[in-house]
Amino acid sequence: MKAIVAVDENWGIGREGRLLIRIPADQKNFKELTMGGAVILGRKTMDTFPGKRPLDGRMNIIFSRNPSYSVQGDNAIVVHDEDELDRALEECGGADDAWVIGGESIYRLLLPRCDEAIVTMIDRKYDADAFFPDLSADPSWELESESDEQIYFDTTYRYQTWMRKSTTGN
């Protein structure tokens, strides 16, 4: 399983249920990476999608504590716990092509199960109220690669690939 996220310098991801900034090239990168796989998200994140509809071309696995919550569409499954998530992932072909896409509580719940994180690091600080765990402060993660600086108007950002350090060997 992998996580994909855009963060500011403080690892902020959102404010009042919205992204901090929308960068078209980053949205295109997100779509290219996740297309054809499964995306795992919370109900609040689902509510931010246009028409509150699942993303096309991907199986959408939505976490909700509400047992009566439902989503329209053949490409959506609602789960209420990690056991249901595991069953849904089996139905979708496994966790190898599954992407955790937020929000904060879903990242915190599932990041321990991820072995890779694709991070769009935005060189700016926003007034965020939702955060992704700071991988640079976590000794179990290491920065594997980083793109050249990208520019969107007056905002610069970089794509980073973080890998969970192996717990075997050394």
pLDDT average per 10 residues of sequence, the chain (170 residues): 98 96 97 97 94 94 94 92 95 90 97 98 98 97 98 97 78
Reported pTM: 0.94
Given this model, what pLDDT does residue 167 score? 63
Look at the domain 2-164 and name its fold: Dihydrofolate Reductase, subunit A (3.40.430)
**The pLDDT value given to residue 59:** 96
Buried b (16+ CB within 10 A) or exposed e, 63-102: bbeeeeeebeeebbbbbeeeeebeebbeebeebebbbbbb
Give residue limits of the domains in the chain.
2-164
